[in-house]
Amino acid sequence: MNCEIVIKISRSNLQIFYSQNKNSYKTFNYEGSENIPFYVFSDGNDFEIGDSAKIKFQNHFSNSYSNYFDLIKDTKSTFPFLDGEDKKMSFLLIYTIDKIIKELFKSLLIGDNLSDIRDSIGLNLVFSSDISDVEINFLVNIFKDFGYKKCKFLNSSYLILNYLDNNRKIGAFRDNNSNMGAFKGYVVIDAIDNNLQIDFFDSLNKKYPKLHEEGIDLASDPKVKIIAKEMYKQAADATDSLTVEETEVPHLIALAQECAITTKAEFRVEVILTDGKSKKVKIKMRSINEKASYLSNFTKDFDLVKSLVKKSKLGNMDIAFVLKKSVVSRNFIDKLKSNYNNFYLSDDEFVDIVELFNTSIDVVNGGDFASELTKTVKPIAVKPISTSSAKPSAPLKSPAQNVQPIIPKKSSAPPPPPLPSRPPAPRKPIFKKSSSGAPPPPPPPPPSRPSVAGKSTPKKPNAGAPPPPPLPSRSPKSSTPGSKKSKAGAPPPPPPKP
């Protein structure tokens, strides 16, 4: 089985892509949809994900879950599972992915048991910009320990930037030599659940952004939000819905965006609330435009980008901007274009971007959050400490290398010959004449160590020792260090006769 799987994860949605035998990636539709709402229902008897779980959550069923990355902050929380045991909340994502892969295998006619091949599956998790690097790192060890040994973890903005740069969609107009990585900084802007997600990368090789800003409710024109609020008000009043505006308006933004570009003075549109109640409401654009006129100086979205660029400490010409197609606020886009030069409006499909997993494995490995954890640490060779200035001897080898044992001191083997000692410097002989003409007493035996500065202290001779020839007298100058040496080979005078 040769199947590579990519799962894109945001806080509210999942998307699945797969490639068999290194062929082009395809999108997998789970229950007929390529976007899977990240909702889970698990009561010990059933385990559901997607739209069915979302409906249960919106109808306040117990054991229904959303906002996974908020739930895992409570490390003691659990959920009931099919085997009758309560599992840690951190495993909710793993069992969700397990269920998706099983459905994918069924559609691809792969008969392998997931639990038997989990450690060999090429699984790649790509996280949207609304998930922090801290949360990604939290999942690395959990998935590895569960059995997904070949799992990779990547930031989606990192992948998009490298895809655009590799395909010369950014940078080619800046660099005459078509060198990749032509800019000192890159800003990627995404819109997720009506929130702006702004990432700043100071290099294409960085796994996650150096700076990040989130603009709550800033991903659409103010006019769009006004339309969404009007839709909710009319539908909730007409149906006596118990839903609240704060949670319903974000679900109506997409519909409101479609209506905002209309040229009609008024129109009717069917609004479906999350509790299932629906109503066809009437929207008058004159009233909407009057309310929007008070917000004509709205600049919170642009000010957020401007603040991030200031923190980057880079000039306008050194930064490239990438706006994903999820950013639809025309007012916001126009402000950016009028203030910054290097712009790219990305309409690239993510199924094309994940081709990097086939074509640029170096890019994928470079962005993998788990890559540092899987590197083999090389042992450091420690040199022996030597107190002498001589070069240290060769490092000791392991016993497996047939090293000759060290001979103990009490061994019968003959000791090694002593190292030759440096001979003492020759001394100039000392001659001293007796006042009575008698021969001088024999000199003392030679000392075991050389005397200091050529001087010696006379000692009584040993009995029976043959007297050496008398030494000539020394002039006062000869006792000084550095005096001239006597001629070599001159024999001393014979002793006088008695």
pLDDT at residue 299 in the model: 86
Residue 127 is assigned to a structural domain of this protein: yes
pLDDT at residue 91 in the model: 96
The residue to which tokens 């900084």 are assigned: 185
pLDDT at residue 470 in the model: 56
Cα 227 to the chain's mean position, in Å?
Answer: 43
Co-location of 232 and 200 in the same domain: no
Which tens digits make up the pLDDT trace of 342-393? 989 999 999 999 999 999 999 999 999 998 654 433 434 433 334 334 444 4
Co-location of 210 and 340 in the same domain: yes
**Cα radius of gyration rounded to whole Å, the chain:** 44
Residue 50 is assigned to a structural domain of this protein: yes
As a whole number of angstroms, the distance between CA 125 and CA 127 comes to 6
Co-location of 161 and 63 in the same domain: yes
The set of residues, in sequence order, having a beta carbon less than 8 Å from that of 493 and lying 6+ positions away, is: 470, 472
Residue 319 is assigned to a structural domain of this protein: yes
Residue 452 is assigned to a structural domain of this protein: no
pLDDT at residue 396 in the model: 42
Co-location of 201 and 228 in the same domain: no
As a whole number of angstroms, the distance between CA 227 and CA 40 comes to 31
pLDDT at residue 413 in the model: 52
Which tens digits make up the pLDDT trace of 301-340? 999 999 999 999 999 999 999 999 999 888 899 999 999 9
Assign 494 to helix, strand or coil. coil
Co-location of 163 and 100 in the same domain: yes
Range of 23's domain?
Answer: 3-168+352-374
Residue 122 is assigned to a structural domain of this protein: yes
Co-location of 272 and 123 in the same domain: no
As a whole number of angstroms, the distance between CA 445 and CA 458 comes to 9
pTM confidence score: 0.70
Residue 340 is assigned to a structural domain of this protein: yes
Dihedral of CA 36/42/48/54: which sign? negative
Where are the alpha helices (H) located in 345-425, listed in sequence order? 350-353, 356-359, 361-367, 371-374
Co-location of 44 and 77 in the same domain: yes
Residue 193 is assigned to a structural domain of this protein: yes
pLDDT at residue 178 in the model: 52
pLDDT at residue 258 in the model: 87
Looking at 293, 313, 338, which one is the last position of a domain?
Answer: 293
CA distances from 172 to 175, 185, 322, 444 (A): 5, 15, 14, 97
Q: Which of 194, 442, 212 is nearest to 326 (CA)?
A: 194
pLDDT at residue 318 in the model: 93
Angle of the 300-312 helix axis to the 330-339 helix axis, nearest 10: 40
CATH number at 132 reads 3.30.420
The structural domain count of the chain equals: 3
Co-location of 144 and 277 in the same domain: no
pLDDT at residue 193 in the model: 87
What are the structure tokens assigned to 38, written together?
A: 């990240």
The residue to which tokens 């306008």 are assigned: 316
CATH number at 343 reads 3.30.420.40
Instruction: Yes or no: say if 273 and 241 are a contact pair by the CB < 8 Å rule.
Output: yes
The set of residues, in sequence order, having a beta carbon less than 8 Å from that of 328 and lying 6+ positions away, is: 191, 219, 220, 257
pLDDT at residue 411 in the model: 47
Q: Which of 364, 323, 361, 326 is nearest to 342 (CA)?
A: 323
pLDDT < 50 positions in the chain: 374-412, 428-437, 450-465, 473-489, 498
CA distances from 445 to 429, 442, 448, 452, 465 (A): 14, 9, 9, 16, 9
As a whole number of angstroms, the distance between CA 162 and CA 115 comes to 34
Geometric angle at alpha carbon 89, from 214 and 133, rounded to 5°: 35
Co-location of 137 and 229 in the same domain: no
pLDDT at residue 223 in the model: 86
Co-location of 243 and 215 in the same domain: no
Looking at 271, 293, 315, which one is the last position of a domain?
Answer: 293
Co-location of 329 and 364 in the same domain: no
Residue 475 is assigned to a structural domain of this protein: no
Instruction: Yes or no: say if 231 and 216 are a contact pair by the CB < 8 Å rule.
Output: no
Co-location of 342 and 207 in the same domain: yes
